[in-house]
Amino acid sequence: MAHLPPREGTVVRRRIWGTAAVLALVTGLVPVTSAQAAAAHRPGPLPLERLFDNRAVSDDARPAAADFDGSGGSLSARDLTAAGWTPGRTLGIEGARLTWPRTAPGRPDNVRADGQSVRVRGRGDALAFLVAGTGGEASGTGTVRYRDGSRGSYRLTAPDWRSGPLATKSVALPHINTPGGQLAEKARLHVVTVPLAHGREVASVNLPRDPGAPDLHVFALSVRAATKGWTGTWSASTAGYTAVGPWSDRTVRLVVHTSTGGPRVRIRLDNTFAAGPVRIGSATVAVQEAGAGARGAPRPLSFRGAPGAELPAGAQAYSDPLDFDVPADANLLVSFHLPGPVVAAPVHSQAVQRSYVSGPGDHTADGSPAAYTSTITSWPLLTGVDVGGGPGSVVLLGDSITDGVKSTQDANRRWPNVLATRLLNQSAVPAYGVLNQGISANRVVADRYPGDGVSTDTGGVSALHRLDRDVLAQTSARTVVVFEGINDVRWGASADQVIAGLREIADRARARGLRTVAATITPCEGESLCTATANRQREAVNAYLRTSDDFDAVLDFDAVLRDPAHPARMLPAYDSGDHLHPGDTGLAALADSVDLRLLVP
C-alpha cells in the first residue's frame, strides 16, 4: 500500500477496541452456555400477527370497535388508506421492509410489548420496529436470539402516538377516532431501528418488558438486511416538503453526478414527510450528453417487475437491478413520469445543478431534450443511485458547506465531488463511493423544517433526527464524516448542546459498525450572525473535537480555511464573498486536506 502522509488540517486519532468489548458495548451480546440453553422451557416464538392483542384501527363509522390507548382513541382506517397504508401492504422505510397488518378495522392489529417471543429470521445491521406508545413515550429492554445460540439485548423507545416528534415520524394521520367523534389531531407512527450483532443470523426476538412504563405497541418487525453487492454512488437528503409545479402528466429529468462507477444500477425514490402517496408511471436512466439530452437511448427501470411504482406516504422504493455501465465521475439523467397531479413533494432544495421538466406526456424514453421545456434547481423524490459491486461508501453528513452552496452551478465542485475524484485517482485505499448528505441551513440539534406539512423552509430536520435515514440506512455505508455545528451556534445554541449532539451521533453510528470521523467548524467572522459569542461557542466545540476520543478521527477544517493572521475569519482566497461559505477554491482545499487513510474502517 502506498504511503499517504497526513495532510494539513488533519488530526489523526485511532481507537483500538477488543472484540469482546465492542460486542458487549454495541450489542449487549453475551455467550450462552449449554446449561443456560437448557434452562426452563419457554413457549416457542410465534409470528407477530399471532400475538396481536390490541385494536388500533377503526372504521370511521364504527370508532368504538377499536381502543388503541385504553381511553377509546384509535387510528382512522380511512386516513391510513388515503396515506397508502392499506392492510397487508409492505412498506419500504429507513431501508427496511415492514408489512402493515393484514387485518380489517376493529380487529387485533398490534401487540402490547410484554416480553413475547417473536419469530424473526435474517441477517442485517438492524432490527426495524413499526411502533407507537400510548400514555406517553414508552421504552423497554428486549432480547435478540441468534441461530448460533448467542443472544443480545436492545433498548427500544416508542414515541407517543399523539405527541411524538413529527420530525422522526414515518406517517402522520390527520385525525384520531373516538367514540364521541373524530378529532382533528395528528396521530403518529414511527419506525425505530436498533443494532444487531454483525454477521449473525437472527432466530427470534423477545419484545421489551417494562410493566411500569406506558404501553409500547408493535405493529410490524423485520430485520433490515445488510446491503450486499451495491455501493452508493450518489445521494441527496430530503430537506423539506415544498410546493412544486404543479405537475400532472409531466416527466421530471434530474441530473446527478456519480462518484464511483459499476456494471449495474438502481435508484431510490423517497416520499419522505408526505401525507399521501405519489405515483411513478415509468422511469429511465441514461448518461447525459448535454442539458436534457441523453447519450444513447435511455434505459427503462422497473420496480418489482412493474414499469412504475406507488410510494405511500413516508415510504421509499428501490428500482430493480439493471445491467447498465455507470461511469465514474459523470452526469446521469434519471427521468420519471408523474401521471397524476403532484402539487407538493419532498425535495433537496440546493441542488446547485439544473434539471428539467417536460411538457405533457411520458418522455422518460426520449433521448432528445426537445420535450423538456423548463428547468428546476432542486431534486424532488430521488434520494439515491447505487452501482453494482464496489467497496461501499463514505457518508458526509453536513450543512450548506457540504451541500455545495456558493460553488459553481452545474460544475460539481462541491468538496464531496473533489474528495470523490481524489479517491478515484489513487490506489492506496479503496475507491469508496461518496454520498453527500449535506442540507443547507441544517443544524445538529434543532429542526429547521418541522417534519410535517408543506413548508417553505428547506433546512431539514436536525442531524440527530435524520441520522438513521440519511446515514445508517444508506447503501453499504462504511464511514460517516460529520461536519456540522456552525448553524447551531449562529442561531444561539451553546457549545455544550452541540457537543452533546455530536457525541450522540458518534455513539449511534459506532453502534451500527460505522467508522466515525468529525470535522471542526470553520470560521465565519464578517457574516451577520457570526457574532463574537457565536465564535466563542464555535471555538469551544472545536476544542472538544481536537481533544476528545468520541470520534475515531478528526479533520481540522478550521485550520485549513482560517486566516492565520485573523483566525476567526476565513482566508480571503477561500471566501466565496459572504464570509460563511467557501468558494470553489476553499472547497477544494477542504477535500485536499483529508488524509484518505482516515476514511478506512
Mean pLDDT over 303-331 rounds to 98
Q: pLDDT over 90 for what percent of the chain?
A: 91
User: Is the pLDDT at 213 greater than 80, yes or no?
Assistant: no
Range of the domain at 510: 1-24+391-601
Q: Taking 50 as the threshold, does the pLDDT of residue 508 lie above it?
A: yes
Judgement on whether residues 359 and 416 belong to the same structural domain of the protein: no
Whether the per-residue pLDDT at 18 is higher than 50: the answer is no
At residue 264's C-alpha, the angle toward residues 350 and 313, to 5°, is: 50
* pLDDT value of position 44: 86
Task: Report DSSP state, residue 470.
Answer: I
3-state secondary structure of 98: strand
571 part of a folded domain? yes
CB distance 545 to 559 below 8 Å: no
H-assigned helices in 68-196 = 77-82
Last residue of a domain, one of 383, 415, 439: 383
Domain assignment present for 232: no
Q: How many CB atoms lie within 10 A of CB 431?
A: 20
Q: Distance between CA 96 and CA 190 in Å, rounded?
A: 13
pLDDT of residue 379 exceeding 50: yes
Question: What is 242-308 written as a DSSP string?
Answer: EEEEEESSEEEEEEEE-SS-EEEEEEEEE-TT-SS-EEE-EEEEEEEEETTEEEEEEEEE-BTTBS-
Predicted pLDDT at 172: 98
**215 and 335 in a common domain:** no
Task: Inform me whether the pLDDT recorded for 138 exceeds 50.
Answer: yes
**Nearest-angstrom CA–CA distance, 259 and 287:** 14
Strand order through the sheet with 111-112 = 111-112, 215-225, 124-134, 187-195, 171-173
Give a yes or no: residue 313 inside a domain. yes
Here the CATH number for the domain that contains residue 499 is 3.40.50.1110
Q: What proportions of the chain, in percent to the nearest 5, are helix, strand and coil?
A: 20, 35, 45
Cis peptide before 277 (omega within 30 of 0): no
Cα gap 164→147, rounded to integer Å = 35
Residues 144 and 291 in one domain: no
Statement to judge: residues 16 and 46 lie in one domain: no
Residue with cell 413533494: 345
The answer, yes or no, to whether residue 10 has pLDDT greater than 60, is no
Q: Give the C-alpha separation, 97 to 126, whole Å.
A: 12
Q: Are 169 and 188 in contact (CB under 8 A)?
A: yes
Provide Rg for the chain, Cα atoms: 24
Q: For helices 19-27 and 495-511, what crossing angle results, to 10°?
A: 110
Same domain for 324 and 250, yes or no, is yes
For range 507-526, the mean pLDDT:
98
Among residues 57, 8, 69, the alpha carbon closest in space to that of 173 is found at 57
Closest CA to 312 of 503, 149, 80: 80
Instruction: Give how many domains the chain has, as a whole number.
Output: 3
| pLDDT per residue as tens digits for the range 139-160 | 999 999 999 999 999 999 999 9
Instruction: Say if residue 211 is in the same domain as residue 309.
Output: no
Q: Please report which confidence band the pLDDT of residue 6 belongs to, taking 50, 70 and 90 as the band edges.
A: very low
Check pLDDT > 50 for residue 29.
Answer: no
Q: Which has more pLDDT, 10 or 523?
A: 523
What does DSSP assign to residue 200?
A: P
pLDDT-derived band of residue 307, with 50, 70 and 90 as boundaries? very high
Kindly tell me if the per-residue pLDDT of 93 is higher than 50: yes
Residue 127 · residue 193 · CB < 8 Å: yes
Give domain status of residue 532, yes or no: yes
Mean pLDDT score of the chain, rounded to an integer? Answer: 93
Tell which of 329, 352, 383 closes a domain.
383
In the structure, what pLDDT confidence band is assigned to residue 210 with cuts at 50, 70 and 90? confident
Half-sphere exposure of 144 (CA within 13 A, CB side): 32
For residues 583 and 570, give the distance between their C-alpha atoms in angstroms, rounded to a whole number.
11
Q: Are residues 474 and 375 in the same domain?
A: no
Q: Are 350 and 400 in contact (CB under 8 A)?
A: yes
**Of 280, 278, 312, 316, which is closest to residue 93 (Cα–Cα)?**
316
CA distance 198 to 125: 6
Question: Are 55 and 93 contained in the same domain?
Answer: yes
Question: Average pLDDT for residues 414-438, to the nearest whole number?
Answer: 98
Amino acid sitting at position 99 = T
Task: Clarify whether residues 214 and 280 are in a common domain.
Answer: no
Burial class (CB within 10 angstroms; exposed 0-12, middle 13-18, buried 19+) of 89:
middle
The SS3 of residue 496 is helix
Residue 323 CB neighbours (<10 A): 9
The answer to whether position 230 is within a domain reads: no
pLDDT tens, 238-248? 999 999 999 99
Nearest in space to 236 (alpha carbons), one of 94, 386, 459, 403: 403
Residue 37: which pLDDT band, with cuts at 50, 70 and 90? very low
User: What's the whole-number mean pLDDT along residues 383-396?
Assistant: 98
**H or E element at residue 158:** strand 151-158
Cell of 315: 415510504
Residue 534 has pLDDT above 50, yes or no: yes
| Distance (Å, whole) CA 57 – CA 179 | 13
| 357-359-364 Cα angle (round to 5) | 65
Taking the C-alpha atoms of residue 169 and residue 272, their distance in angstroms, rounded to an integer, is 10
Angle, vertex CA 456, rays to CA 452 and CA 460, nearest 5 = 55
Q: How many residues does the chain have?
A: 601
Tell me, yes or no, whether 305 and 450 share the same domain: no
181 neighbors 74 (Cβ within 8 angstroms): no
Structure confidence at residue 23 as a pLDDT band (50, 70, 90)? very low
CB 84 within 8 A of CB 313: yes
Instruction: Assess if residue 144 is contained within a domain.
Output: yes
Which of residues 339, 362, 383 is at a domain's end? 383
Q: How far apart, in whole angstroms, are the C-alpha atoms of residue 76 and residue 71?
A: 15
Whether 14 is covered by a domain: the verdict is yes
What is the per-residue pLDDT for 30? 42
Q: Any idea which residue has 408489512 for its cell?
A: 99
Examine the domain organization and report whether 375 and 398 are in the same domain. Answer: no
Is 235 part of a structural domain of the chain? no
Q: What number is the average pLDDT over the span 423-451? A: 98
* Res. 214: pLDDT tops 90: no
40 and 20 in a common domain: no
